[in-house]
Amino acid sequence: MTQASATPRASRRQHDREIITLAVPAFGALVAEPLFLMADSAIVGHLGTSQLAGLAIASALLTTAVSVFVFLAYATTATVARRVGSGDLRAAIQQGMDGIWLAILLGAAVIAVVLPTAPSLIELFGASDTAAPYAVTYLRISLLGIPAMLVVLAATGILRGLQDTKTPLYVAIGGFVANGALNAGLVYGADLGIAGSAWGTVIAQVGMAAVYLVVVVRGARRHGASLRPDAAGIRASAQAGVPLLVRTLSLRAILMIATAVAARLGDADVAAHQIILSLWNLLSFALDAIAIAGQAIIGRYLGADDAPGARDVCRRMVQWGISAGVVLAVLVIAARPLYVPLFTSDPTVQDAALLALIVVALSQPICGIVFVLDGVLMGAGDGPYLAGAMLVTLAVFTPVALLVPSLGGGLTALWGAMTLMMAVRMVTLWVRYRSGRWAVTGATR
């Protein structure tokens, strides 16, 4: 074997080890997060239908609020990873602290806005007279945990930037176990009902945030980083997050439009759509884990002024994304006859879901490329391009999706539109990737 042939192989093995080391724990943490809601639903569901309906409505609002601010994790990962690559751990943690302070401010703002308007927001969601009081109770109590959840996002970004995805996994697992135990004890042991479920979740969230803060503060003291809020740093964190906020809101709009179109197709189609969407989200976790690894690794390479290395690892991650997409496609096709009956026994709903799932399966290699390149550009701090690309995608998807009911094709056509959406994202991201203009080196972009 020649040295020329050995070097690329050694490089691939190194990249593979880095990707696996970061992606596997990240996947575990991503899967652990939705288990909070599942635990709440399982416990509250035994209280009654009205309580469960109230939980569903309040949780939808809370999930939306937290997902909108996911840029706290993404932007922080990129900025911290760059500083790590440049060898300046003090500045890396300092920028992470700026993100945590921004999270606290945003959490306080959410509480100030939503707490007094909770009844009106619940009413907008069309809650029944019996479910509305439970929804308001759960929402108002759970709001107190929003600052903690946003701190968790920012602190997760710090650790990912430091190339550590294991700690977030451990914290997520601990939080899930604590959440389940607290909910059961407060709902049934203390007889607090749905309020007990909300308090249990808040306490678990605050506990998770406290663990993260202990880890980050120790790192700050070890490397001499200041813990005090810095107005300029907080402002810079907010500015870096704005494009990613636009990207996230555009994606949320696409998902909302898809659900609205499914509702116009009929009850069977919208029920099948929800089943498929739950699977689509699960598949996204697997691909998003690779994207998270991409954010951390690319940021580090660019911070170390190694643009060729960043491009090399990017190529390898694209191969990972395609391979993961192919594996997921095979699994979806093979498991769809077993998966769908778990959610419904209605043959009409099953037929609609089974056919549309073929489209979902075929789109997975495309999704693999999209998630990886999305993570790469986030790691490179290329937020403005990502925002523009998502706005273009939204502009293409919206008219196509809205035409589905009139053109026929039902749910399969709608998921064909969703596949088109992912294809547009792939093209816009691939153009940027091939241009090389994302590979800006240095400790800051």
Sign of dihedral through CA atoms 245, 247, 249, 251? negative
Residues of the chain with pLDDT > 70, as a percent, come to 97
- Mean pLDDT along residues 334-357: 85
Q: List pLDDT tens digits, range 166-207.
A: 999 999 999 989 998 999 999 999 999 999 999 999 999 999
Mean pLDDT of 316-325: 95
Q: How far apart are CA 143 and CA 160, in angstroms?
A: 26
Top pLDDT among 60 and 239 is at 239
Predicted local distance difference test score (pLDDT) of residue 36: 67
Q: Is there a contact between 58 and 142 (Cβ–Cβ < 8 Å)?
A: yes
Residue predicted with more confidence, 281 or 102 = 102
Split at pLDDT 50, 70, 90, the class of 211 is very high
Q: How confident is the model at residue 264, as a pLDDT? A: 86
Query: Six-digit token pair at 190?
Result: 């203390």
Single-letter residue type at 290: I
Angle among Cα 318, 25, 362 to the nearest 5 degrees reads 40
pLDDT at residue 260, rounded to an integer: 86
Q: What is the pLDDT of residue 124?
A: 81
What distance separates the 2 farthest-apart alpha carbons in the chain? 75
255-264, 386-395, 429-438 — which is least confidently predicted?
255-264
Task: Report percent pLDDT > 90 for the chain.
Answer: 69
* Cβ-contact 131, 111 below 8 angstroms: no
CA 333, distance to chain mean position in Å, is 25
Closest CA to 178 of 154, 202, 156, 155: 202
What's the pLDDT at 37?
66
pLDDT score recorded for residue 68: 87
Number of H helices and number of E strands within the chain?
Answer: 14, 0
Q: What is the pLDDT of residues 138-162, one digit of tens each?
A: 999 999 999 999 999 999 999 999 9
- 62 vs 285: CA distance, rounded Å: 20
Give the pLDDT of residue 382. Answer: 96
Average pLDDT on 105-116 reads 95
Tokens coding 89: 């751990």
Q: How confident is the model at residue 359 (pLDDT cuts 50, 70, 90)?
A: very high
Band of residue 385 on the pLDDT scale cut at 50, 70, 90 = very high
Residue 371 has a CB neighbour count (10 Å cut-off) of 28
Amino acid at 266: G
**378 and 386 in contact (C-beta within 8 Å)?**
yes
Q: What is the pLDDT of residue 4?
A: 40
Q: Over the stretch 215-262, which tens digit does the pLDDT of each residue have?
A: 999 999 999 999 999 999 999 999 999 999 999 999 989 988 998 888
On average, the pLDDT of the chain sits at: 90
- Residue 408, both tokens: 């026929």
pTM for the full predicted model: 0.90
Query: Is 2 a residue whose pLDDT tops 50?
Result: no
Q: How far apart are CA 258 and CA 247, in angstroms?
A: 17
Give the integer Cα–Cα distance in Å for 319 and 285. 18
Q: How far is CA 86 from CA 79, 303, 306, in A?
A: 11, 5, 10
